Amino acid sequence: MKTLALFAFFMIVSGSGYADSSEMVEVPAGEFVMGDNDDGYALPKKTVQLEVFSIDRFEVTNEEFARLFPEHTFWKDSQTQPATSMTWHQAKTYCKQIGKRLPTEEEWEKSARGTDARLYPWGNKPLRKKPHPFYSGIIKRRVGLNKKDNSPYGACDMAGSVWEWTVGSENGKKVTRGGLWNHHLDYEYGKTFDRNLIAPSERFIFLGFRCAKSKN
Amino acid sequence: MRKIEKLTRRLFLKGGLWTALLLLWHGFRGPTKSWAQETDPFSGTDFVGKTREGKHHSFYINFWKPMRRINAETWTLKISGLCEIPKTFTLTELRDLPTRSQSSRLKCVECWSARAEWGGFSVRELEQMVRPHASALGVVFHCGDEYKEYLSREALNHDRVLLVHSMNGEPLSDAHGFPLRLIAPTKYGYKNPKAILEMEYVDEQQSGTWSKIGPYSPDSTILPGTDHPLEYGKNPRRIPGGEITDY
């Protein structure tokens, strides 16, 4: 009976009910260190002041995205995995329709990094040297499954899972942030300051989003 | 004892008759997957295979198995499976289709990449003639080196995907997949099959040769990471994922 109860408890904890992108974490107003001077692809290091804002604890899931975009298809049993393969405009529309917005690049980085300029959301050391060595594709998992990939404010999956759209723009492309646990052969992209530039019309299997909201 | 002997003989005769009939029928029908009854698309005993030597140091070559060179005179592209009008096309017919040229980089899953100017036609040109069924989700490519690869029709009809018969203004060489190969710039090289013999329309997603046996994603979209372009001395460069357009 005890075993059964434990099993039931485990199923509830690990079940699909865990992910809820409406759940947000609040990031207090104040300064933080943005960018990195040693990484040529990151923005130069600078101190940035932000107002208080909230950001989704999890990336938007397949199930949630499909409620507003019924044409969004996904594999059976992957309802709670991050939704991907949407354009930047679709991501923006989704956030707007639920009363939120896409985060700015600055908001995204502060949410992942906190105020101590850490390299990863959990600290300064990678969790593993080769997360999924040599696999050439993306392995999606339920959002929030990795309990160690938590930022100082409690936002999940900001170093792993999938890349995320932001409102940031550069040279006609949109800035994406985040990383992949299993990006091919290397780990560089899991850092809090790593950024990508992707055309807003593109859809990729490795690219999703989360929403943010201003306090005022 | 006598009875059993008679029975055995009768059985033997019966069995022999059936075997003879079966062989006769099979002889008429021919082997199911062999070039014996069709035109042999290969020629000679000269093989092409994996190489990074000589002129190929600037654009590596890989094959699943060493392959006899394809004979342009006897090769045809067979379109089969779930389409209204299965057809075969000669190389001349394919070269007469509306051709376009594009510069794109082939990114290998083994890190290297190289850029070329590719000439060919879009899959749409073929689909107008063979008319795939609505149930056809994708195509299995059967290649001269016994390599197989699957691409969805959605991926195949991407604007940047071409069936190519020329490379840098010259007809495709044997090493680069003569007479016809696929170029899908958003996908790793293993999703760009060479020396295509047959395109088979199918109604379910399948894994290609490499995806079946190794850690190769069936989707194979190029992920964000690091590239080592051959023409830039393999010096590492960050790539954002998808087609590499920055260099």
Predicted confidence band of residue A3 (pLDDT cuts 50, 70, 90): very low
CA distance A159 to A179: 5
Establish if A9 belongs to a structural domain. no
Predicted confidence band of residue A130 (pLDDT cuts 50, 70, 90): low
Q: What count of other Cβ atoms lies within 10 Å of the Cβ of residue B182?
A: 24
Q: Choose among A130, A132, A155: nearest CA to A144.
A: A155
Bigger pLDDT: A196 vs A132? A196
Q: Which residue of chain B has the CA closest to A174?
A: B240
Q: Can you give the residue range of the structural domain that contains A62?
A: 18-214
Predicted confidence band of residue A5 (pLDDT cuts 50, 70, 90): very low
CA distance A171 to A197: 9
pLDDT in tens, B107-126: 998 889 999 999 999 999 99
Q: Which residue of chain B has the CA closest to A42?
A: B238
CATH number at residue A142: 3.90.1580.10
Establish if A6 belongs to a structural domain. no
pLDDT in tens, B132-160: 999 999 999 999 999 999 999 999 999 99
pLDDT in tens, A35-83: 999 988 899 999 999 999 999 999 999 999 999 999 998 888 899 999 9
- pLDDT for position B231: 95
- pLDDT for position A180: 75
Determine which of A84, A88, A138, A184 to mutate to test the interface with B (most B C-beta atoms within 10 Å).
A184
Structure tokens at A50: 């932000």
Q: Please tell me which of the candidates A134, A137, A206 has its beta carbon nearest to residue B224.
A: A206
Predicted confidence band of residue A132 (pLDDT cuts 50, 70, 90): low
Establish if A145 belongs to a structural domain. yes
Confidence check on the interface: ipTM exceeds 0.85, yes or no: no
pLDDT higher than threshold 70 for residue A184:
no
Q: Choose among B198, B183, B104: nearest CA to B148.
A: B198
Predicted confidence band of residue A21 (pLDDT cuts 50, 70, 90): low
Chain A residues with beta carbon closer than 8 angstroms to that of B152: none
Chain B residues with beta carbon closer than 8 angstroms to that of A197: 240
- pLDDT for position A199: 95
CA distance A85 to A32: 31
Establish if A2 belongs to a structural domain. no
Establish if A12 belongs to a structural domain. no
B 209-228 → A contacts, CB under 8 A = 215-221, 223-226
Q: Which residue of chain A has the CA closest to B188?
A: A136
Mean pLDDT of chain B: 86
**Residue stretches of chain B with pLDDT short of 50:** 1-9, 11-13, 15-16, 19-20, 22-37
Length, in residues, of chain A: 216
Length, in residues, of chain B: 247
Structure tokens at A149: 């990939």
Determine which of B213, B223, B244 to mutate to test the interface with A (most A C-beta atoms within 10 Å).
B223
Is the whole-model pTM more than 0.90? no
pLDDT higher than threshold 80 for residue A10:
no
Quick one: CA dihedral A132, A135, A141, A144, positive or negative? positive
B109 shares contact with chain A (CB less than 8 Å): yes
A 151-210 → B contacts, CB under 8 A = 163, 176, 180, 183-186, 188-189, 196-198, 202, 204-207
Establish if A5 belongs to a structural domain. no
- pLDDT for position B19: 47
- pLDDT for position A11: 38
- Give backbone dihedrals phi and psi of B43, rounded to 5 degrees, phi first: -145, 145
Establish if A4 belongs to a structural domain. no
pLDDT higher than threshold 50 for residue A6:
no
- pLDDT for position A176: 96
Structural domain total, chain A:
1
Establish if A13 belongs to a structural domain. no
Q: Do B190 and B208 meet the contact criterion of CB atoms below 8 Å apart?
A: yes
